[in-house]
Amino acid sequence: MSIKIKELIFLILMFSLTTYSQSNSSIQTSETNSEARIILRVNVLRFEKKEWELEFEIKNNGDKNIYLATNPTQLGGESGYYISTNEDSNSTINISAQVYSPPILDYYSNKTRVELRKLSANETFNERICLKFPIKETTPPYIDPFKKKKIFPSKIKKIIISIGYFEEEQGIKDFLNTKLSGWYINGLESLFSGKYKDKRFYEIQQAVSTSIDVVK
- Is the pLDDT score of 20 beyond 80? no
Q: Does residue 102 have a cis peptide bond before it, meaning omega lies within 30 degrees of 0? A: no
Give yes or no for a contact between 119 and 164, defined as CB atoms under 8 angstroms apart. no
The rounded mean pLDDT for the chain is: 85
Range 169-202 burial, b when 16+ CB lie within 10 A, else e? bebbeebeeeeeeebebbbbeebeeeebeeebbb
Q: How far is it, in rounded angstroms, from Cα 104 to Cα 116? A: 25
pLDDT digits (tens, 9 = 90+) for 106-145: 777 889 999 999 999 999 999 999 999 999 999 999 877 7
pLDDT digits (tens, 9 = 90+) for 143-158: 777 788 899 999 899 9
Give yes or no for a contact between 175 and 189, defined as CB atoms under 8 angstroms apart. yes
CA 79 to chain CA mean position, Å: 13
The ranges assigned to domains in the chain are 2-213
pLDDT digits (tens, 9 = 90+) for 169-190: 999 999 999 999 999 999 999 9
pTM of the complete model:
0.83
What are the residues whose beta carbons fall under 8 Å from the beta carbon of 109, sequence distance 6 or more? 76
